[in-house]
Structures are given as C-alpha cells and as structure tokens.
A and B are shown apart, each in its own frame.
Chain A
C-alpha cells in the first residue's frame, strides 16, 4: 500500500532557529513529491520535486529529494513566527492521478 510518513509530528522552536522536516514514502511508480504549507485554511503549494539531488529553494525554504532512499527534507533557516504552520508532504504516482498525503508536521515558532 502506498504511504507517506512525515516526522516529526510536531516541532516547537524559537525565532532564528533552523528546522528540518522529513518526509519518507513508499509509492509504486513514483512521479513527484510536493510540499505544502497550511496555516489556518487552505494548503498553499511550496515545491514540487521530481529529480534526486536537485535542491529547490525559495527564500529561507529549501527542499531536496533522495529517490534512492525514498525521502525528502524541507529546511527552513532563520525561522520566523510567520513560518508557524502545518507542513504537508504529498507524493504522486504514475499509476494514479491522485496525491497521497502524509499526516503533516506542525511547526510552531515562538519569538
């Protein structure tokens, strides 16, 4: 059965800290891995990763995929209170046209 596992489930840090969020997956015929940020309402798209070893970067956020070890990490440097959210990882399979989501990592950044 296809599955996506995120860790940790919850993380509490202070502003300025650097955090690493993990996502591992087991999916038949992997196509892509996506990261979303969900604050109080709709998840918003962050990154899509399809190739191993190529870092995607947007400001203080970056992500990389390892297709051999079947995981991805999302790094946030110099965290700010506005980074507080649930971060969702999802994987897309060639076999289906639907995303499989992990349970998310809840990040809380305190001043």
Chain B
C-alpha cells in the first residue's frame, strides 16, 4: 500500500527552537507539498517541490524553509519556532495530475 509517512504525530517545542518536520513517500512521486491546517482557515500551502533540490513558495512561506535532497523526502523547517506556528502540518505527494493527492497522517505541533 502506498504511503506518505510523517515522522512525528505530536510535537511540543519551545519558542525559538529550530524544528524539523520530516515527510517520506514511497511512491516515487515527483511533487510534494507541505500544508498547515487551522480551524476556520482550511489547508494553506506553505511550500512545494517538483523535483529534487527544487522548491517553490506557497501561500504562507514566512517563517518556514524546506529541503528536498532526495526524491522521497521533503522536510519542513521552522527556523525559529513561534507560538503562531502551532498547527497541524500535513505533507502530501502526487505524481503529475492532482487527482489522488496522498496525504501523510499529519504532525500536530505545539509551540510553547
């Protein structure tokens, strides 16, 4: 069964810490995405990547960066975590057309 795996389900970090959220897919997909999901705001795109070492800003990239050194892995980095980055983070991947984005289970990050 194809999978997108996010390394942590729950994380609690302190303000100012550098935080890494990892996402790995086993489907050889080219396109990978990071979203955050907040009540009343839906899913908002942070960054996406079409290929190794390639990245594009989404709608809310401020305070985040990403890394894609290998095709299967797409990492989201919070350079200096802040309380307003407390959220559910969802990784997704897709090959080509957008039907059937496959999502990871999500990481619920709390910044205190």
| A and B assemble together | yes
Q: How many of A's residues come within 8 Å of B, CB to CB? A: 22
Q: Does A88 contact B (CB under 8 A)?
A: yes
Chain B residues within an 8 Å CB radius of A101: 35, 42-44
Q: How large is the interface on B (under 10, 10 to 19, 20 to 34, 35 or more residues)?
A: 20 to 34
State the Cβ distance, B83 to closest chain A Cβ, in Å: 22
B42's contact among A32, A45, A92, A104, by CB below 8 Å, is which?
Answer: A104
By a CB distance below 8 angstroms, the chain B residues around A102 are 42
Collect the chain A residues with CB atoms within 8 Å of residue B101's CB.
34, 36, 43, 45, 99
Instruction: Please tell me if B74 contacts chain A, counting CB pairs below 8 Å.
Output: no
Sampled A-B contacts (15; CB under 8 Å)? A9-B40, A31-B98, A42-B105, A43-B103, A44-B103, A45-B100, A48-B98, A88-B43, A97-B50, A98-B48, A98-B58, A99-B98, A101-B35, A103-B42, A104-B42
